[in-house]
Amino acid sequence: MPELPEVETTVRQLQRKVRGRTFIDVWTDFKRIIKRPSGLEKFKERLKSKKIQRVWRRGKNIIFDLSGYCSLLVHQKLTGHLLLGKWKKKGKIWQPPPGPLSDRVNTYIHLLLTFDNGQQLALSDLRKFAKVELFNKDELKKELSSLGPEPLDKSFTLETFKETLQQTQGKIKQVLMDQTVIAGIGNIYSDEILWQAKIHPFKKISQLSRKELKNIYQAMRKVLSLAIKLCGESISDYRTLSGESGFFDKARKVYRREGEKCSRCGKIIKRIKLAGRSAHFCPNCQPL
């Protein structure tokens, strides 16, 4: 699933390329992708002629603030990613232009939003778990109210981080991935953060020292900032708005590297299960 760095990369690209554009048409072959309002025609009616005023991120959500006091929310879920370009329909298939958009991972098009300049915003989603919703801005505020703080916000200081974690219980990897505690971190970056901080993923919050909490906080800021700079991780389905891979793979230390040597100590990286999810770590660098 695209996490904070991938979503932030997409949002920054959208803000540059589609702000000021107006929606003029909607196509989908999978109506259930539209969760709100119910029904394609209602959604199309409410979205058409709306102008994009701003694109921003909250947690893993992409939000388009539109004219008419409404907002379009896109959550890409497991395999979804947004693409920008021009597609031509041949039979039942939307054909992309030559280049990165024609890469296989970008061809599972289930939603196309057409702009007034002829460009299209496409949602490619192999598993079809992504969701699209229209809210008025008051409803959107309520929808996002359960999310925790943004880990890269200036207001989210070390002391705020410590206070936030001290109000929770459980194993550190699970807590980092809990969107009600901190917004935007998932399986990939929780592994990378904990490797950077030399903390075992099973270590309980109550067992963490003040120094360890500081190490996790600093690692979180460092890893997420680097991943944004490198346009995210494309080990799975995620691609940038132009259909290209992100470059965080070059910086990935433990996620999906089980059986390989740790780049820090040379010991073998292991993978263990935690509440149905995988946790990758170095048993030497990250002792329990």
Longest CA pairwise span in the chain (Å): 61
**Residues taking part in catalysis:** 2-3, 60, 277
Rounded distance between C-alpha atoms, residue 74 and residue 82, angstroms: 9
Q: Is residue 135 helix, strand or coil?
A: strand
Q: Are 129 and 80 in contact, with CB atoms under 8 Å apart?
A: yes
Tally of CB atoms within 10 A around 179:
15
Q: How many C-alpha atoms does 181 have within 13 Å on its Cβ side?
A: 21
Residue 168 near residue 181, CB atoms below 8 Å: yes
Query: How far is 284 from 266, CA to CA, in rounded Å?
Result: 9
User: Which of 125, 127, 5, 148 has its CA nearest to residue 74?
Assistant: 125
Whole-number Å distance between alpha carbons of 201 and 216? 11
Report phi then psi at 254, rounded to 5. Answer: -130, -35
- Calpha distance 229→113 (Å, rounded): 28
Q: Which of 26, 17, 28 is nearest to 49 (CA)?
A: 26
Tokens of 70: 């409404």
